[in-house]
Amino acid sequence: MSALPDRKDNFRAPLDPYGAVTHEVFNQPVEFGDINLFDSDAALKEAVKREGAGWATDGLQAFGARAGSIDYLELGALANKYPPELDTHDRYGRRVDLVRFHSSYHALMKASIETGIHSSPWTERRDGAHVARAARSYMQTQVEAGHGCPITMTFASVPCLEAQPDLAAAWLPKITARVYDPRNVPVDQKQGVTIGMAMTEKQGGSDVRANTTRAIPAGAEGPGQAYELVGHKYFVSAPMCDAFLLLAQAPGGLSCFLVPRWRPDGTKNPLQIVRLKRKMGNVSNASSETELRGALGWMVGPEGRGVATIIEMVAMTRFDCMIGSSAGMRMAVAQTIDHCRQRKAFGALLIDQPIMTAVLADLAIESEAALTLTMRLGRALDHRDEAHEDLLVRLATAVGKYWICKRAPGHAYEALECIGGSGFMEDSPMPRLYREAPVNAIWEGSGNVQCLDIARAVRRSPQTLEAYFAEVGSTKGENAVLDQHVAALQDDMRDLSDFESRARDLCDRLAVALEAAALIRAASPIADAFCRSRLESLGAHNYGALTGVDCKAIVSRAAAR
């Protein structure tokens, strides 16, 4: 027999009674959370009041407390950790086109819909309605961006559908209802529905005129009539929506259609999901490739005027891209400052290390500028009955969407680096913010396409440019750097014949001037620092290269706690 040592004999008490304790965890921050995302955001609170939504403060405060709680922030992480999955068929082989989501995703959708992020300006048409909704969406998107896609498309579908009063009467009550019903069942069984948008095809996304999907009249032709659609869509986000606004070639040209997932007779409409996209970010949001195999759709707006009809929707989603990118920047700033105020290196808190203070201040400047312009445009949306505001919406939405979305990725990268190695880890929110950052710039018209749209706006309607210069000119005399910038820009915009070849330069300058003017109008304490750092050295801007600026004051204003 082998002489196995007796287990008792083999036991040896540790020589060092503390030997099992390898180290104490110190110099690591406490978890970010249980922070009121409204109360802790000075720039947001000021913007809400200034732009006409002071009446919404109590509701926003309550929402901010909920959104910033640790449990709620966790929903955002979970919705991305467990991505949606597609079942094209059930186990018996029947076509279902069902997308399954994690419960956290449904919780976020429910919260967004029940608090009216998908509809409040349409159901409560009052001064400040767009501003209040933008503020709520801004906080919700800080928690999770992906589910914002169907929320924004549902919100934006309303002005588009209003072009077709019979369809609007049937659909709008359910679109605007504060009821989240994710079931894959016909619309008549639901009190609340969501709407998607499908324009992009394989051969063309920006150039939707290249769409080849055909619309064949099912009977009578024209607005409000039923058509059968045959073709494909290469990007259809949120394919579990109850209906989609899409473009297809009718006999009279490219037209807009409303295509539900179920036919009125209760059978499945053959709008079939081929697969879900494998995306680098925006993971919680399902995006699909679909085929239309004779799907029934109803024409929205005049035949051949599809782009003009759906552009009403696109205008609103572009505004939401501004909110979304501003929200990403705000969360990055809040996380980063929170980390640096708790983490020491070389004998001092990071927040007090001068180079870091400057970087943090600069990130905060970028974030507040984006929010301030976004909320200024929210006000313009609330006052479209005034000519100046309406013209501003036309031009400044394209300018703001172009610029704010384009600034987000670099901002996320710099913020991530402030956190150091743990900012690069998947259990930090920073990778999600980083991977999410480029998407707003791509959809709803990518950067160059926004520049082309700006060119189109100023050529077709020179009043839009006059309104723009009236807006930035309203601050004349307040900041010499801005005055100089605007004068030079005005000179360079006189001859627009070669706009396209100078477009990036001109649009960048249009954008920073608009942000600067918005900050000055808002009497923001960062306005001067913005003008120095963004107007004096345009194109050479690198985070932290601030001089003559009270960086500590800026950081303290932006800190979430």
Ligand X SMILES: Cc1cc2nc3c(=O)[nH]c(=O)nc-3n(C[C@H](O)[C@H](O)[C@H](O)COP(=O)(O)OP(=O)(O)OC[C@H]3O[C@@H](n4cnc5c(N)ncnc54)[C@H](O)[C@@H]3O)c2cc1C
Residues of the shown chain interacting with ligand X in the complex, contacts defined by CB under 6 A: 196-200, 204-207, 235-237, 279, 282, 287, 439, 442-443, 446-449, 452
Closest CB to ligand X belongs to which residue?
205
Give CA separation, 85 vs 205, 260, 339, 375, 398, in Å: 25, 21, 34, 36, 34
Closer to ligand X by CB, 441 or 527: give it.
441
Tracing tokens 């950081």 back to the chain, one arrives at 555
**176 or 284, CB closer to ligand X?**
284
Q: How far is the CB of 244 from ligand X (least distance, A)?
A: 8
Question: Which residues does 164 contact at the CB level (< 8 Å), separation at least 6?
Answer: 223, 224, 258, 298, 299, 300, 301
Count of beta carbons in the 10 Å neighbourhood of residue 208: 15
- For ligand X, the closer of residues 110 and 504 by Cβ is 504
CB 47 → ligand X: shortest distance, Å? Answer: 28
CA pair distance 481, 498, nearest whole angstrom: 26
Tally Cβ neighbours within 10 Å of residue 65. 16
**Which residue, among 300, 301, 236, has the nearest Cα to 271 in the 3D structure?**
236
Measured from the CB of residue 16, what is the shortest distance to ligand X in angstroms? 55
In the complex, minimum distance from the CB of residue 204 to ligand X, in angstroms, rounded to a whole number: 6
Instruction: Give residues with Cβ within 8 angstroms of 478, minimum separation 6.
Output: 520
Tally DSSP H helices, then E strands, for the chain: 20, 11
- Contact between 451 and 501 (Cβ < 8 Å): no
In angstroms, give the least distance from the CB of 228 to ligand X.
20
User: Considering the complex, what minimum distance in angstroms separates the CB of residue 289 from ligand X?
Assistant: 10
Compute the distance between CA of residue 289 and CA of residue 18 in angstroms, rounded to an integer: 59
Shorter beta-carbon distance to ligand X: residue 207 or 386: 207
* 509 three-class SS: helix
In DSSP notation, 391-427 reads HHHHHHHHHHHHHHHHHHHHHHHHHHHHHGGGGGSTT
The CB-of-105 to ligand X minimum distance in angstroms stands at 16
CB of 213 to ligand X, least distance (A): 11
Residue with tokens 């600067």: 516
The distance of closest approach from Cβ of residue 405 to ligand X in the complex, given in angstroms and rounded to an integer, is 12
**Whole-number minimum distance, CB 311 to ligand X, in Å?**
13
Q: Which is nearer to ligand X, 84 or 378 (CB)?
A: 84
Greatest alpha-carbon span in the chain:
101
Q: What is the DSSP string of 244-273?
A: EEEEEEETTEEEEEEEESB-TTSSBPSEEE
Residues 6+ away with beta carbon under 8 Å from 364: 333, 337, 526, 554, 555, 557, 558
Task: Report, in Å, the least distance between residue 259 CB and ligand X.
Answer: 13
Q: What's the closest the beta carbon of residue 28 comes to ligand X, in angstroms?
A: 34
CB of 153 or CB of 375, closer to ligand X: 153
Q: Where are the beta strands (DSSP E) in 45-94?
A: 85-89
Cα–Cα distance measured from residue 514 to residue 250, given in angstroms and rounded to the nearest whole number: 40
Residue located via tokens 């020589």: 15
| Alpha-carbon gap, residue 228 to 239, rounded angstroms | 19
CB closer to ligand X, 510 vs 554: 510
Identity of the residue, 237 or 397, whose beta carbon is nearer to ligand X in the bound complex:
237
Rounded to an integer, what distance in angstroms lies between the CA atom of residue 374 and that of residue 322? Answer: 6
Nearest to 30 by CA among 332, 338, 329: 338
